[in-house]
Amino acid sequence: MLMRSLAKRELQPVYVIAGEEALLKSRALERIRALTLDGSPEGFNEDTFEGRGLRASAILDAANTLPMMAERRFILVRDAEQLDAAEQSSLARYLESPAPSATLILLAEKLDGRSRLAKIAKTQGFLYEAKPLKGTSLVKFLEAEAKAKKTPLAPQVAAALLDAVGEELGPLIDAIERLSLYVGEGQTIGLDAVEECVTRARVETIWALVDSLSMRDAGGALTAADSLLRDRTSPLALLSMIARQLRMIAKMRQSLSEGMSDQEAAKRAGFPPFKAPAGRAAARRWNLRLFEHAFDEIAKTERLIKSSRVDPADRIMALLLSILTPPRPERRAS
């Protein structure tokens, strides 16, 4: 419900988000911050506090300060459950009539439902739970994740993912990311793709290949590719994965050169937000000459594999060696 309202760009003056699922809290927080500070000068309208030992007056002073050249201020309190009871009561009074020019977020792992703060937050419609997803809710979450990447899940795929990976959100999101990379944008993730590349070991190996390719680590990429090929991963599927990752890095490099922030560039390039720093690091390892050589070799490899003139697995290994081995310096004419 919270993410649906945020998708409609609907902001409340207060959010009390309690629960153990850190990833859900992180996503909600990221979206609330982006909406609150949209168009705001960087660093002028944002305050972050830690709950332990914090006085409510510091939070209220920040919330009641008028924003500078913006519509709202963003105030975040982490570990709000660690606020003393008296401070929580002071905050509860604020929740009854919050400032319209601020967005206050209280994050807690576990909030006492009997407390005045929790009761008023619930009455006001400010209380949201971030509990671990189970059953149908978890399946719907996976389907939404895949759809957002333009690689929808075929029937029964969500159940197969849960069987293969478990119910922890972090590994499941990683699996969706890798499957999307594997099938390519606009394609449906089917059971065959899950069989092909989703076991705990194989998922880790696919990421190892992607990360090693990004950082131009020939040894790591060759080891990962060899493992995947021995597990009967399609060489053409690996080739597609390699090409897509290089296109993402190229787009990241271009976006950064245009002055975009890491997060903006990552979004444009197709990297998940948590991969933005890795995207920047990868962009620094590649240049235009390296990209030109890599894409030429990829096109050549595809032609050779499809013509059946070479062993496909050997050709993939030769491709990685070619594009990741440091190029020899050009000889100067004597």
In the chain, CATH 1.20.272.10 sits at: 135-324
Q: 135-324 has which CATH code? A: 1.20.272.10
Is 127 in contact with 28 (CB distance < 8 Å)?
no
Reply yes or no on whether the pLDDT at 136 is more than 50. yes
Residue reference for tokens 């401070």: 87
Question: Mean pLDDT lowest for which of 16-25, 50-59, 96-105, 114-123?
Answer: 16-25
Q: Say if residue 160's pLDDT is above 70.
A: yes
Element holding 157 (H helix, E strand): helix 157-165
**Cα(110)–Cα(130) distance, rounded to whole angstroms?**
10
Indicate where the chain has its CATH 3.40.50.300 domain(s). Answer: 2-129
Q: What is the per-residue pLDDT for 99?
A: 94
Per-residue model confidence as pLDDT tens digits over 30-45: 999 999 998 788 778 9
Q: If you count them, how many residues does the chain have?
A: 334
**So what CATH class is 2-129?**
alpha beta
Give residue 65's identity as a one-letter amino acid code: T
**Which pair of tokens denotes residue 25?**
């809290």
Q: How deeply is 179 buried, as exposed, middle or buried, from its count of CB atoms within 10 A (0-12, 13-18, 19+)? A: buried
pLDDT at 135: 85
Higher pLDDT, residue 195 or 316: 316
